[in-house]
Amino acid sequence: MSALAQTALAALPPGLVWQADRLAQPVEAGIATGFAALDAQLPGGGWPRNALIELLSDSPGIGEIGLLLPVLHTLPADRWIVWVAPPHLPYAPALAAAGMPLERLLLLEPDSHAEILWAVRQALASGGSSAVLAWLARADTAALRRLQLAAETSATPLFLFRPASAARQPSPAVLRLRLAARDGELAVDILKRRGPGLAAPLRLSLPQRPGLRRTPALNDALVRPDPVRPAAAGIHARRR
């Protein structure tokens, strides 16, 4: 590109033109993810505020919620945090211990796929939610585009959890991350962003993960623990 074109481009207001070889600078800064390494790789320095964000992973338990816990703390207090059709039960004691504001949690369990899509769109369009987390096993491109539009017009981030096989399907999401666990850390591979591709997945250490620095393999010498206290005898005879 000629030097003249470079200066002409530089003179344009930020956010108007995005050169594909560098990270886009959206007008509105993102919501800090709570992980400096991830913030540095995202356009706007955080989760986009008005977009569909796809998180692709196959199995639960790799830290997919832990990745979002920091951002769920920082959302405004007068609106809902909506979880639509999670695959398992969000376990209240753990959420409370992690500081998730449970009084703002709206847990939706719709019956059908159509109702899941409906509920997500409602949650986005109402302006009454600060973030929407949804779990979709399958979704066609048209449905995804509608969700992306709803997220865009309502300025509400939508975190959509999909199976890893969805990576092959084209998607209108502005940000697509593939999540996997590696040695007690979360490996985040940025599949799509407004910026150049990423050479290697990011490694994030999640603070809420149970301490796994030292990994003693207990299998080899499985020690049966002594009972904490002797079984109650006497008046309250135990059933056997």
Partner 1 sequence: MAAATPAALARGVEPGQGVAGALAVAPSLQLRERDPALEAATLAEFAVWAAQFTPCVSIDPPDALVLETSGSLRLFGGVTGLVRRIRAGLLPLGLDAAIAAAPTPLAARWLARTHSGRQIRAAAEWWRKLDDLPVELLGDGAEVSRTTLDLLHGIGARRIGDVARLPRDGLARRQASVVLDTLARARGERPDPRLWFLPPERFESRLVLPTSLLHTEPLLFAAGRLFSGLSAWLAARHAGLDRCRLHLEHEDRPDTVLEIVTGAPGRDDGRLLMLAREHLAALKLPAPVEALRLFADNPVVTPGRTQDLFGDPDSARDAAALLLDRLRARLGREAVRTVHPVSEHRPERAWCRADPGRPAPRSTPAAAGPRPLWLMNEPRALESIRSLTLLRGPERIESGWWDGADMRRDYYIARAPDAALWWVFEQLDPPGGWYVHGFFG
Binding site for partner 1 (CB under 8 A): 58-66, 76, 78-80, 86-98, 102-111, 115, 118-119, 122-123, 126-129, 180-184, 209-212, 215-219, 222, 225, 227-228, 232, 236, 238-239
CA distance 92 to 232: 30
Nearer to partner 1, 8 or 155 (CB): 155
- Residue 231 CB, shortest distance to partner 1, in Å, is 9
Nearer to partner 1, 120 or 175 (CB): 120
- Residue 141 CB, shortest distance to partner 1, in Å, is 25
- Residue 171 CB, shortest distance to partner 1, in Å, is 22
- Residue 181 CB, shortest distance to partner 1, in Å, is 4
Give the DSSP H/E element, type plus range, for residue 143.
Answer: helix 141-154
Nearer to partner 1, 27 or 77 (CB): 77
**Sign (positive/negative) of CA torsion 140, 146, 149, 153?**
negative
In eight-state DSSP terms, residue 161 is E
Nearer to partner 1, 24 or 135 (CB): 135
Nearer to partner 1, 24 or 71 (CB): 71
**Sign (positive/negative) of CA torsion 191, 173, 129, 25?**
positive
- Residue 102 CB, shortest distance to partner 1, in Å, is 4
Name residues whose C-beta falls within 8 Å of residue 194's C-beta, 6 or more positions apart in sequence.
18, 23, 24, 26, 43, 174
Name residues whose C-beta falls within 8 Å of residue 151's C-beta, 6 or more positions apart in sequence.
50, 51, 52, 124, 132, 157, 158
CA distance 130 to 147: 15
Per the structure block, which two tokens stand in for 109? 């369990």
CA distance 166 to 135: 13
Nearer to partner 1, 52 or 120 (CB): 120
- Name the CA dihedral angle for 182, 214, 207, 104, rounded to a multiple of 10 degrees: 90
- Residue 154 CB, shortest distance to partner 1, in Å, is 10
